[in-house]
Amino acid sequence: MNSFTIEPNEYLTQNIQAFYHSDYSGGGGQWRVQGTIENIICTLKNDITTYTDDVLQNASRQLATILLTDLPQILRVTRKNNLTACVIPRAKVNYSLNHSLFRKTVSDIINRLNGFDQWYKFYCKTYRHKTTHRARWGHGGNGNMPLSQHYKDTCRISNEVIGKDILLIDDLYTRTIDIDEDAIQALFDKGANSVIFYAVGKTLSKN
């Protein structure tokens, strides 16, 4: 596991302690190589190539292994007694189970680990937006691209966030996209006590 700092910008007002499992290469066809971070993330998105149940479950197991290694380390490094985890919501309002395996896998692991509060779905998506990783090729879907205060405009954020130390989890962090920064700020604005960020992959090409 690796650490970095998410720095303040027009979307975020303070430094955020952040962690990620592995670098993510946007090119070179790594997403086709089974077992790579690129393959795990792209498979669990399941929105470009439609994968079989066996392939999806294998990627879910690989993600579970990563989380079981990384998340306890985050508790030790941050010296938090416990953290409450939530996952960045995807672009659409509703997804089938086979399009929600990232969230489900995180939920299952969080509920198995000591030091983490009960799983909460803090974000309730009310409006869809374009999918950023597909929009560059004209396949982002309906809605607008995410902008400042995007999560305030497209989600209801539960009052359960108030006073909590949050571990905000995403599959992929890409600097300059600012979706994660906006989501973190939305949690603070709602009343979170603190926010720590974790991504499975961190994009190399934007750093």
Q: Identify the band that residue 152 occupies on the pLDDT scale cut at 50, 70 and 90.
A: low
Question: pTM score, two decimals?
Answer: 0.84
User: Any idea which residue has 């066809």 for tokens?
Assistant: 29
pLDDT of residue 154: 72
DSSP state of 84: E
Nearest to 115 by CA among 77, 171, 61: 77
Q: Which residues, at least 6 apart from 195, have a Cβ–Cβ distance to it below 8 Å?
A: 16, 166, 168, 184, 187, 188
> What does residue 113 show for φ and ψ, rounded to 5 degrees?
-95, 145
| Mean predicted lDDT score pLDDT of the chain | 81
Structure tokens given for 206: 């934007």
**Looking at 44-53, 100-109, 157-166, which range is the least confident one?**
44-53
For residue 132, is pLDDT > 60?
A: no
Structure tokens given for 117: 């509060």
Interval 140-150 mean pLDDT: 52
Q: Which residues, at least 6 apart from 99, have a Cβ–Cβ distance to it below 8 Å?
A: 45, 46, 47, 90
More confident residue, 160 or 123: 160
pLDDT of residue 22: 95
